[in-house]
Amino acid sequence: MPSDPSTPRFGANYVPSSGWFYSWLDYDGAAVRRDLADLAGLGLDHVRVFPVWPWIQPNRAIIRERAIEDLLDLIDAAAEHGLGVAVDLIQGHLSSFDFLPSWVLTWHRGSLFESDTVRAGLTAYVETVARAVSARPNVFAITLGNEVNNLWPDSSTTPESSTSWAQDLLVAVKEAAPGVLALHSVFDDAWYKPDHPFLPVDVVDMGELSTVHSWVFNGVSRVDGPLGPATLTHADYLVELAAGTSLDPARPVWLQEIGVPGPDIPVDLQAEFTRRTVELVVHNPALWGVTWWSSHDIDRRLLDFPDREYDLGLFTVDHQRKPAAQALADVIAEIRYAGVSPQQATMLTSPVNLRTEPHRRAEIAPGSEFHLSWVAARAEGPVRISLPS
């Protein structure tokens, strides 16, 4: 763990090296421990883990104890390697695949966000798993799910429904697990797409800290290439958007996902992208921590993933440390030795009040006039974002 409490946390999103998340169907504690040893060797202090919802709750009335026991063993394995654990509950969406139980599909189809029946089943699942994992002392956070807003095209919702859905489930988490952080997580369409039914205000008002996911394939890499200033500062830009949109100036922001997707970041530039991106964001006073996506590559014997998903790991499937992993380990060691040094920042006012004008989100998206102004100013030093009154 960081010795200096002002130093950001560093971790990885845990993707099992053997069998991807299908490995939950045939859990192997020894294989998990080998993976976690890889991560501890980088100097990481936490992992974010992903139980798969339909494999724990295959029927609305059944929550499988064996599946929860496997999850608890993973958490214990993390503790053996000195790693804290954040648990995501609703998977939901993973690496372009959606995993939903049969009781919300076909003849039983109901919106995750609007059906009272589905929400009742989800609440039972959330309460049960949250209560179980929170009994482990190294569990520090529970997130509702991995980019749950990616599920909405097949699950009708409105901004009002999305907000009430997250509010209700966060209450369930907090009641079941009062000692851990209860969090809400979304893909950055919620920040940039004018008609998206999940809102930026939900990220910064709900839960106990804000989470952002920085992926340069959202358009920012087309602005200026893999090592251009817009691409390298996109993580810092999202952290600033979240900090500037919050009503609480002291609310932390967790960079919960960031990685080196190809072809946006070519293999020979991934180490440099990793080092420079982390160096640019790590001194931000709002930053709570950085969690890399992902721990291990996906075995190419598994079919039908988008090509970029296979090689996002810090390690290969046979546990070889990749250049981005070494770059991340080096930056972590440097930061823990020298600490962080927040600098004097300039202020830039957004043309859009994201709290009240979400229909204008495109005006702050990558490549927008405001975003390019922020990138130009960021070249001279840190730039805070304020919203217009």
In a domain, 125, yes or no: yes
Name the token pair of 197: 């039914």
pLDDT tens profile 328-341: 999 999 999 999 99
Total of domains in the chain: 1
Q: What is the mean pLDDT of the chain?
A: 96
Residue 89 pLDDT > 90, yes or no? yes
Q: Are 281 and 235 in contact (CB under 8 A)?
A: yes
Beta strands in the chain (DSSP E): 9-13, 46-49, 84-90, 93-94, 97-98, 139-145, 181-183, 210-214, 253-258, 287-293, 346-349, 383-386
* Single pTM value for the model: 0.97
Return the CATH number at 206: 3.20.20.80
In a domain, 199, yes or no: yes
Residue 1 pLDDT > 70, yes or no? no
Name the token pair of 142: 């529970």
Contacts of 63 (CB under 8 A, 6+ apart): 56, 57, 124, 125, 128, 129
Q: Please count the CA atoms within 13 angstroms of the CA of 180 that sit on its side-chain side.
A: 29
Cα–Cα distance for residue pair 347/341, rounded to 1 Å: 18
pLDDT tens profile 332-386: 999 999 999 989 999 999 999 999 999 999 999 999 999 999 999 999 999 999 9
Place of tokens 């069998």: 19
- In the predicted model, what is the mean pLDDT of residues 265-281? 98
Q: Please count the CA atoms within 13 angstroms of the CA of 69 that sit on its side-chain side.
A: 6
% the chain with pLDDT above 90? 96
pLDDT tens profile 218-265: 999 999 999 999 999 999 999 999 999 999 999 999 999 999 999 999
pLDDT classification of 3: cutoffs 50, 70, 90 = very low
For residue 92, what pLDDT is reported?
A: 87
Q: Are 335 and 45 in contact (CB under 8 A)?
A: no
Strands 93-94 and 97-98: antiparallel
- In the predicted model, what is the mean pLDDT of residues 9-23? 98
Residue 32 pLDDT > 60, yes or no? yes
- In the predicted model, what is the mean pLDDT of residues 146-159? 94
For residue 45, what pLDDT is reported?
A: 98
In a domain, 381, yes or no: no
pLDDT classification of 191: cutoffs 50, 70, 90 = very high
In a domain, 322, yes or no: yes
In a domain, 20, yes or no: yes
pLDDT classification of 5: cutoffs 50, 70, 90 = low
In a domain, 350, yes or no: no
In a domain, 386, yes or no: no
Residue 2 pLDDT > 70, yes or no? no
Question: Which residue segment(s) compose the domain that 229 sits in?
Answer: 9-344
Q: Are 231 and 214 in contact (CB under 8 A)?
A: no
| Residue 253, Cβ density class (10 Å: 0-12 exposed, 13-18 middle, ≥19 buried) | buried
Residue 23 pLDDT > 80, yes or no? yes
In a domain, 353, yes or no: no
What sign for the dihedral angle of Cα 139, 143, 145, 146?
Answer: negative
